[in-house]
Structure 1
Amino acid sequence: MASLTTSEVSVKDMELKSCNAASSEGDITNTTNQHTEKMDDTNTKDSPIANGEQDSQSNRKKVLGGRVYILFAAVFLSTFLMALNGSIIATAIPKITTHFNSLKDIGWYGSAYLVATCAMQPLVGRIYTHLPTKYTYLTFASVFSIGSLVCATAPSSKALIVGRAVQGCGGAGVVNGAFAVIAAVASKDDRPLLIGIAVSLTSIGTVIGPLVGGALTQDVSWRWCFYINLPPSGLVICTLLSLPIPEQVKKEPVRPNLKAIVTKELDLVGFAIFAPACIMFLLALIWGGNQYRWDSSVIIGLFCGAFGTFATFAGWEVFKGEKAMIPPAIARNRLVIFGCVTSFLQIGALLSLSYYLPVWFQVVKDESPVMSGVMVLPTAIAQAISGVTAGKLVQIVGYCTPWALFGCVLTSIGSGLMTTFTPSTGAGPWIGYQILAGTGRGSVVQMPVTAIQNLLPPKQISIATSQIFFWQYLGGAIFLAVAETIFTNSLRSSLKTYAPGVNPELVIDVGAAAVRSSMSSGQLPGVLRAYNHAIVSTFYLAVGASSAAFLTSFGMGFQKLPKKESKKKPKGNEA
């Protein structure tokens, strides 16, 4: 990249300065040899490697020229693929349940992926911190591909659920690995733009996933929602096999130290405590109000078990100290804490809108599932453009928090305007409001990761990044559960107002896809008004979350990101 030439000049100048200094003492050879030995001693306290960061110029030098861009293209493709996979199944679920006669398993097709991805996040951060980035990334990409193949060839509903869980385990490592590669290969000056591109592709993949899934399910087969992952995954794996990926921090050789790394550094006991707690909590959120009542013994038991296990995990982490899965230095870091909370709120706001806006188009505006996917493209396009733009602006200005605040304001306003939707709302408002909210979200979502990648010590970056993603997934699960409760309760009360002669439970049971065909011509207008009111009620959740994120963004601070390496020649002794 552009900074390579500058780095090489700086290194040569530093070497010349060292030689000049040695010459003034009259012993150039001896001093130079001592200097070389000191740089080779990775245990020296003042060495950059000993402090956890290898020389950025020497790292980038390993992937010169066009190969750098090939590497980034592969990473961006895998990031897009993970986002696409997370949402592509949404429009395929009706066909899947019909094929397997498995309506009772409908919740598992999405939750198996979410639960596995969320539970793996903290462990993934430790793995990338202590094991080689390249082969760790390849392993997770292979696991994701295996999971996709299991899903595509699944002979039963249970096999499909297992495949989705395997996909989730692999996907957790691929997403984290993408940012680990960016941190290792890119200079700090280039990271904001690259992260902006990665996050923008994630936004596009998430939004067009249902559109692609609907088209494949309708014209080919639902199995192609999973087969479609295999060719690009294979391309990514082959590309990364042929490219060297430098390490940002010095890591112990794997072969002679693998047992010690696994037993002492990965905190598998902590993971064994954390994973069940995470699974119980997420299952309680997913099942509550659907398979079981919120006050049922199953849901209460899951919540109690989750909180008790989380408390045990917290005690274990305190006991482990710096060897914990989430070290105290990261758990107490203000940037990480407020970055996680901001991500939690903004992703919750994002999913609240992205889940119910297509429902509004399908039910209230009477559009097909595929067409509803087209009608939410303004959100994806605006978010992608603003994500790249915000990344470039951070690169120029050097601050993340102002753009996070700006994004929260726009998201709050856009979400608030969406609460004015009615059955007669025209294209102008719903396009314009989506652009406003999408622009805001693209500006804010990437900022916690960008700040962490540039301001934290290199050894903490992978673990801290995994925490951001964990809280994003958790925020999505919690906010969707809350939004569903708001929607259901609001629909019941609205039906009593707008369609008093209609049984609310009947409308809820038939589902959004069949509500129009199940109502008489006299009942339908009132039912549509009730549906509209219930859907826009969930948008208030996005307004509140975005407004709260505006406040938490201040907690990230206003520390300026490191400047680009100076192009000026360092001052030295005259020759």
Structure 2
Amino acid sequence: MYSDRDQRATSRNDRSAPSDPVTDVEAAGSSRLDFEEEPRALSETMPAWKMVLVAAGVLMSMFLVALDRTIVSTAIPQITNDFHSLDDYGWYGSAYLLSCCALQLLFGKLFTLFSTKHTLFLSVLLFEVASAICGAAPNSVCFIIGRAIAGVGAAGIFAGAMTSMVHIVPLHHKPKLFAAMGSMQAVAQIGGPLIGGAFTTHVTWRWCFYINLPIGGMAMATILLFLDIPPHRPQADKPFQWKMAQLDIPGTILVASGAICTLLALQWGGQTYAWSDGRTIALLAVGGLCLAGFVALQLSFPQRATVPPRLFRNRSVAAAFFLFVFFNGSNFVLIYFIPNWFQAITHVSAAESGIRTIPLVASSVVGLIAGGVATTQLGYYVPCAVVGACLSSVGAGLISSWKPDSSEAAWVGYQILNGIGTGLVYQVPNLAIQTVLPKRDAPTGFAVALFGGLLFSSVFLSVGENVLANELVHKLSKLTNSTVDANDVYTSGATTLLDQLPEHLRPTGLRAYNASLQVVFQIGLALSCMCVPAACALEWKSVVAPWNRKSEGDDAEKGVGSASNGVSAEPSLRKR
């Protein structure tokens, strides 16, 4: 039996719903489907030890990808030495990034239509095969192919891990699970380069990939044995041919082509080829046309769209998307260029520069944990988003004020301030998406956010590289009263560029280099500041009450279905 308050709420929803008979029937069907599609969390239906194993398997799969992204950074120089392939240096990272970004949206659709358990298992298996190929690669071409396959597996693991988390624990425990996931990624970010350096120096760089095999094996075993997520009932009963027809292959081809062309143009532009070169212009033009065509296709055929336009009609989804994009862009710029500042300006080794960035990463873990606890206690994630965006902006602004004579307290303290803000914001976009979307739409929502984060982080990173080079050319040309060739800047190392200056000009050149890096840090500052309005645009949705997960539009539709069928608009209440 329901209370009078629940009955009054249902009546209000009924009065506010559309009156069109066809819409009423669709809404009624939606209500019944949502009732079936919203099963209880795994932690409520299985023993605690099984739930822990499931969570561990999902987290291990994410750790696998996070470790692979960082452990390989210290191995690539030795790989180029062994394969005599310095000209392939960029492709070792690009092949992974391009395939991961290009197929991210497709995997969002796959997890909506097919079994989460089997799709995630196959993604991890594909990543394991790619790791074996890279570890045993006899030449550079084989290694690049392995990295491209690894990117495909990583795209599936990203989307699958996020989708699985929707089902593992109830909504009000999600902040703690996201905090655990973020902490594992931070640990991988700290430990990856150290482990990779140790393998490369004392054993062989091939173990940077072989280490993925036992970790992935344990993840696959737990996923296959214990991850039991009920399929979405409407899609589960459809034939395989129908599911394949829903994958929006033309849209996938367009978005993949657009992403690849855009990323290649940004990586080559100004470095491998001039911005005025026909190849760079052609890549940008083709990339823009493909992405525009993808958007037009999504708007024209919303029923089969890879990115249903209705998702962005929800204010929280749109705000979470932009928050994720700007947050990732700022984070990438700072993480990438802060070690550059330490090596070029303070003259420390690569290993020491990594150690000096530990305050940034460690404080992010603290912010993650604090954000998870605060969100669980308050029941709302918006405060963490707003406070975190403000703190990260202040921290980024202070980092952009670094000078050659900045004290240790300054570069440690400013990193901590930015890191805590980053940690507070980290889990909010994903948490907001699964708070306001039905479970059937959550995989697509996650994939869209991940795609935007990957694509635009690469864009902002390329922008930072080109801004640094242009600033150095301008300032060094002014310093030496002669034109500095941009190629000399691109081909010089971060710590060897100033060695080309006369002895008496090096102190001034150091200040010019610092000023150039300050401009790059200001890009990170601008992106952090853009997170503030995005955070403020989020709706105040509670993560404590599971029935508050839906957007207002979904609530209205469910009210119609309830009135038509005698089923409550709040199935979570009924289950309880």
* Shared fold per TM-score greater than 0.5: yes
Partners of 1:440 and 1:111 lie apart in 2 by: 29
* Counterpart residue number, 2:53: 70
Answering whether residue 259 of structure 2 is matched by residue 275 of structure 1, we say no
Q: Aligned-pair distance for 1:407?
A: 1.0
Q: Aligned-pair distance for 1:203?
A: 3.2
* Counterpart residue number, 1:380: 361
Q: Which runs of 5+ in 1 are unaligned?
A: 1-12, 15-42
- Asked if structure 2 preserves the Cα contact closer than 8 Å seen for 1:91 and 1:369, the reply is no
- Asked if structure 1 preserves the Cα contact closer than 8 Å seen for 2:271 and 2:490, the reply is no
Q: Summarize the alignment of residues 138-217 of structure 1 with structure 2, pairs less than 5 Å apart.
A: 138-217=121-200
Q: Aligned-pair distance for 1:132?
A: 0.8
Partners of 1:516 and 1:97 lie apart in 2 by: 25
Q: Aligned-pair distance for 1:51?
A: 4.8
* Counterpart residue number, 2:37: 53
> CA, structure 1 residues 244+208, in 2 after alignment: closer, same or farther (shift >3 Å)?
closer
Residues 501-520 of structure 1: CA deviation (Å, up to 9, x unaligned) = 89565454221254476666
* Counterpart residue number, 2:102: 119
Out of 301, 308, 314, the residue aligned to residue 320 of structure 1 is: 301
* Counterpart residue number, 1:354: 335
> CA, structure 1 residues 45+394, in 2 after alignment: closer, same or farther (shift >3 Å)?
same
> CA, structure 1 residues 143+494, in 2 after alignment: closer, same or farther (shift >3 Å)?
same
- Asked if structure 2 preserves the Cα contact closer than 8 Å seen for 1:410 and 1:440, the reply is yes
* Counterpart residue number, 1:445: 426
Answering whether residue 352 of structure 2 is matched by residue 371 of structure 1, we say yes
Secondary structure at 1:56's aligned position in 2?
Answer: coil
Matched positions, count:
525
* Counterpart residue number, 1:391: 372
Q: One-letter code of the match for 1:532?
A: N
Residues 324-373 of structure 1: CA deviation (Å, up to 9, x unaligned) = 11112214322222211111111110011100111112222222222211
Q: Aligned-pair distance for 1:158?
A: 1.6
Partners of 2:177 and 2:231 lie apart in 1 by: 16
Q: Aligned-pair distance for 1:101?
A: 1.9
Out of 107, 118, 122, the residue aligned to residue 90 of structure 2 is: 107
User: Which sits farther off after the overlay, 504-513 or 168-177?
Assistant: 504-513
> CA, structure 1 residues 381+248, in 2 after alignment: closer, same or farther (shift >3 Å)?
farther
* Counterpart residue number, 1:20: none
* Counterpart residue number, 1:86: 69
Q: Aligned-pair distance for 1:564?
A: 6.3
Out of 471, 476, 482, the residue aligned to residue 457 of structure 2 is: 476
Partners of 1:345 and 1:50 lie apart in 2 by: 32
Out of 483, 502, 511, the residue aligned to residue 493 of structure 2 is: 511
Q: One-letter code of the match for 1:281?
A: T
Q: Summarize the alignment of residues 465-504 of structure 1 with structure 2, pairs less than 5 Å apart.
A: 465-496=446-477
* TM-score (norm. length: structure 1): 0.85
Partners of 2:115 and 2:377 lie apart in 1 by: 32
Secondary structure at 2:226's aligned position in 1?
Answer: coil
* Counterpart residue number, 1:336: 317
- Asked if structure 2 preserves the Cα contact closer than 8 Å seen for 1:48 and 1:54, the reply is no
Q: Aligned-pair distance for 1:152?
A: 1.3
Partners of 1:149 and 1:266 lie apart in 2 by: 29
Residues 189-241 of structure 1: CA deviation (Å, up to 9, x unaligned) = 11122112212322332344333333332332222222222221111112222
* Counterpart residue number, 2:13: none
* TM-score (norm. length: structure 2): 0.85
- Asked if structure 2 preserves the Cα contact closer than 8 Å seen for 1:495 and 1:504, the reply is no
Q: One-letter code of the match for 1:453?
A: Q
- Asked if structure 2 preserves the Cα contact closer than 8 Å seen for 1:62 and 1:246, the reply is no
Secondary structure at 1:429's aligned position in 2?
Answer: helix
Q: Aligned-pair distance for 1:529?
A: 2.6
- Asked if structure 1 preserves the Cα contact closer than 8 Å seen for 2:329 and 2:527, the reply is yes
Partners of 2:457 and 2:194 lie apart in 1 by: 20
Partners of 1:249 and 1:72 lie apart in 2 by: 21
Partners of 2:379 and 2:37 lie apart in 1 by: 21
Q: Aligned-pair distance for 1:252?
A: 4.1
- Asked if structure 2 preserves the Cα contact closer than 8 Å seen for 1:148 and 1:227, the reply is yes
Secondary structure at 2:29's aligned position in 1?
Answer: coil
> CA, structure 1 residues 233+482, in 2 after alignment: closer, same or farther (shift >3 Å)?
same
Q: Aligned-pair distance for 1:294?
A: 1.4
Q: Aligned-pair distance for 1:424?
A: 2.1
> CA, structure 1 residues 63+527, in 2 after alignment: closer, same or farther (shift >3 Å)?
farther
Partners of 2:535 and 2:231 lie apart in 1 by: 28
Provide runs of 4+ in structure 1 moved above 6 Å: none
Residues 39-60 of structure 1: CA deviation (Å, up to 9, x unaligned) = xxxx983765455623315x44
- Asked if structure 2 preserves the Cα contact closer than 8 Å seen for 1:62 and 1:245, the reply is no
- Asked if structure 1 preserves the Cα contact closer than 8 Å seen for 2:435 and 2:541, the reply is no
Q: Which runs of 5+ in 2 are unaligned?
A: 3-26, 549-572
- Asked if structure 1 preserves the Cα contact closer than 8 Å seen for 2:34 and 2:438, the reply is no
User: Which sits farther off after the overlay, 124-133 or 272-281?
Assistant: 272-281
- Asked if structure 1 preserves the Cα contact closer than 8 Å seen for 2:100 and 2:154, the reply is yes
Partners of 2:108 and 2:547 lie apart in 1 by: 28
* Counterpart residue number, 2:326: 345
Partners of 2:157 and 2:501 lie apart in 1 by: 46
Residues 170-190 of structure 1: CA deviation (Å, up to 9, x unaligned) = 001111111111101210111
Secondary structure at 1:45's aligned position in 2?
Answer: helix
Q: One-letter code of the match for 1:124?
A: F
Partners of 1:548 and 1:348 lie apart in 2 by: 11
- Asked if structure 2 preserves the Cα contact closer than 8 Å seen for 1:56 and 1:248, the reply is no
Partners of 1:282 and 1:299 lie apart in 2 by: 11
Secondary structure at 1:115's aligned position in 2?
Answer: helix
Partners of 1:539 and 1:203 lie apart in 2 by: 21
Q: Aligned-pair distance for 1:246?
A: 1.8
Identity %: 31
Partners of 1:46 and 1:321 lie apart in 2 by: 17
Q: Aligned-pair distance for 1:525?
A: 3.1
Answering whether residue 228 of structure 2 is matched by residue 245 of structure 1, we say yes
- Asked if structure 2 preserves the Cα contact closer than 8 Å seen for 1:52 and 1:458, the reply is no
Partners of 1:340 and 1:114 lie apart in 2 by: 20
- Asked if structure 2 preserves the Cα contact closer than 8 Å seen for 1:63 and 1:243, the reply is no
Answering whether residue 501 of structure 2 is matched by residue 531 of structure 1, we say no
* Counterpart residue number, 2:239: 257
